[in-house]
Structure formats: structure tokens, C-alpha cells
Amino acid sequence: MNNPFMARAIELAIRNVREGGGPFGAVVVREQRIISEGVNRVTFTNDPTAHAEMMAIREACRKLDRFELSGCEIYCSCEPCPMCFGGVYWARLDRVYFGCAAIDAANAGFDDSFIYSEITAPLSQRQIPLIQMERDAALEAFRAWENSPNKTPY
Amino acid sequence: MNNPFMARAIELAIRNVREGGGPFGAVVVREQRIISEGVNRVTFTNDPTAHAEMMAIREACRKLDRFELSGCEIYCSCEPCPMCFGGVYWARLDRVYFGCAAIDAANAGFDDSFIYSEITAPLSQRQIPLIQMERDAALEAFRAWENSPNKTPY
């Protein structure tokens, strides 16, 4: 094991399993120093969004007091699921390093690959139905945003 | 506007813009009653994961005291981004109703569609590099999970 940040992400994942949590860990690194750590807390906190990467991203933003993480990298014990992948993009991390692949997670019973296949399927063929309605009314929210004098773009 | 839940999601989005937040709202509904509401709090809370859908999902789980939302539906003022889409799947919501499409969000400056195109691109062609390393060491976390006597599968 040559990379200390990946080693730490894996160590966090294994320790979390011992504590009864999911087998995932992540660390956010800036200028070769760890600024936040996260483990999967879904079942402990009753929060399906509490994946290791999301926890590490949120904690890093709290510490840096900003809502994006450009200049930072994330090390994940496993390839991020689509939710965490989206989080990485919104956080504008520079780079992602991962250990296990999504297929390894699937083999262990965490079926990220199902979500990846769903996300690329046409809306009409999704297993969770996505139904559009009331678009004209909903566009009012974007019109309000465009006309707002006190918005913070991101 | 015929659907009261979508009307509420849109109302939340517009009100959030007036308060300086992003133009997004969402409600989680169970048995025809709203059990949680969310708005985009990214810039208020310095949390890039604080999208309306994620906030509503997390709040619904807190209220129901469980980590999944089967039997519930979510109404979103806009089509969920890949992060929120992943959150919907992990939360096991029954159905998603959305108002604006992802292209409407892109036109207003929120480029979910960039993430959607990235997520389907080969790893080698992603704009944010994803680099695998240390897979063998990382697999130890899944082995620990498989052998753990006190895990909570989800």
C-alpha cells in the first residue's frame, strides 16, 4: 500500500464495518493533507444519503467554509455511486481516486450498477417511474431566479 | 395547477429564491399527505449536497425513523440531478414527479446535463479524472463486511 490517503480511506471502511456500518470510507485531501474523513452512516443515522463520500465532502466544506472544493481531491475505498459522483461534480473536486470498482460493490450486495444502468435508460423504461407534470407552472421558479437581485450563483 | 403537491414544491422553490436560495423545491408524500419539504440550501449552508430533493429525503427519513422511503413519492419542481436521482434510488421511493426538465435547469445556469453526459462517458474521457488504485487492498473492506456478524444490510 503506497498511497497514505487511499490507505486511510480503506482503514476507515474496515473500521466502520467493525462498528456495524457499511464498508465504505473516503477522505478529502488538499495540498497533500487530509482535511476531512467520511464513512457510511446510512443505517446509524437513518439517512440514505450518508455515504462516505457525501460525509467527507460536507465536512470538508464546513471546515473550509465554502460550498465547493476546487483544489481538493477525494480518495474513496470504492468507486463512487451515481449519487456521490453527482456530489463530486457539484463540489467541483479536482480528481477522484478509488479502490474497488462498482462491480465489486455489486458483488458485495450494494447495487450501484443498477442505478448506473437506470440513469442511462429512457424515462419510460425506468423501474422507478419519473413523471413530468406542470412544467409551465414550474418554470416560474427559474423566472424568479433570473429576475432575482439577491441570488448567489453557483 | 391541479396537483397540490407539485404546487407546494413550486411554491417552496419560488419562496426560496426570494430568500436568496436556489430555485428548487421538493416534497415527500405518503398516503396523500406531505411528510417533509426541502429547498436548495447549498449557498446558505455551504453544503453542495443540500439540494431540495436531498433535504426532503433526509427529513422524511428522520420523521419516519428509517433509512428508506418505500411507500412514498417525491414531487420536485425540477427533474432531479444525478446526485438526487441516486438519492431517490437509495431511498427506494416509489415514484418521482417533476416539473421542469433538466434542460430547463441548464438554461437557467444549473448544468445538470453536463453531469448526466459525464456519467455515461468512459472513465478515460471524463473531465474530472477518476483513477483506480490499490483495488486488492480496498477489497479487504468488502471481505470484512461479508464476514461481519453485526452488519445491517440495506
Q: Identity (one letter) of the amino acid at A36?
A: S
Average pLDDT over residues A126-139: 95
Residue A1 has pLDDT above 80, yes or no: no
Shortest CA gap A134–chain B (Å):
5
Residue position matching grid coordinates 498511497 = A3
- CB interface of A with B, residues 100-119, below 8 Å: 100-101, 104-105, 107-109, 114-116, 118-119
Of B53 and B149, which is predicted with more confidence?
A: B53
* C-alpha separations of A72 from A13, A34, A81, B118 in Å: 21, 10, 19, 19
d(Cα A29, Cα B76) in Å, to the nearest integer? Answer: 34
Question: CB–CB of B134 and A87 under 8 A?
Answer: no
Closest CA to B116 of B90, B81, B87: B81
Residue A136 has pLDDT above 90, yes or no: yes
Mutate to test the interface with A, among B16, B18, B47, B78 (most CBs of A within 10 A): B47
Question: Is the full-model pTM beyond 0.80?
Answer: yes
Pairing of strands B130-132, B33-39: unpaired
Give chain A positions within 8 Å (CB) of B115: 85-86, 89-90
d(Cα B9, Cα A141) in Å, to the nearest integer? Answer: 10
Shortest CA gap A5–chain B (Å):
11
Mutate to test the interface with A, among B140, B143, B146, B147 (most CBs of A within 10 A): B140
Residues of A serving a catalytic function are: 53
User: How does residue B2 score in pLDDT terms, banded at 50, 70 and 90?
Assistant: confident
Residue A71 has pLDDT above 80, yes or no: yes
Mean pLDDT of chain A: 95
Q: What is the helix (H) or strand (E) element at residue B35, kind and residue range?
A: strand B33-39
Supply A90's cell numbers.
457539484
Are B108 and B17 a contacting pair, CB within 8 Å? Answer: no
User: How does residue A76 score in pLDDT terms, banded at 50, 70 and 90?
Assistant: very high
Supply A85's cell numbers.
459522483
Q: What is the pLDDT of residue A128?
A: 92
Average pLDDT over residues A48-58: 98
The alpha helices in B19-134, defined as continuous H runs, are 42-45, 52-64, 82-91, 102-107, 112-119
The alpha helices in chain A, defined as continuous H runs, are 4-18, 42-45, 52-64, 82-91, 102-107, 112-119, 135-147
Q: What is the pLDDT of residue A119?
A: 87
* C-alpha separations of A73 from A32, A36, A43, A67, A68 in Å: 9, 11, 26, 15, 12
* C-alpha separations of B76 from A131, B23, B25, B95, B104 in Å: 10, 11, 6, 11, 13
Is A138 an interface residue toward B (CB < 8 Å)?
A: yes
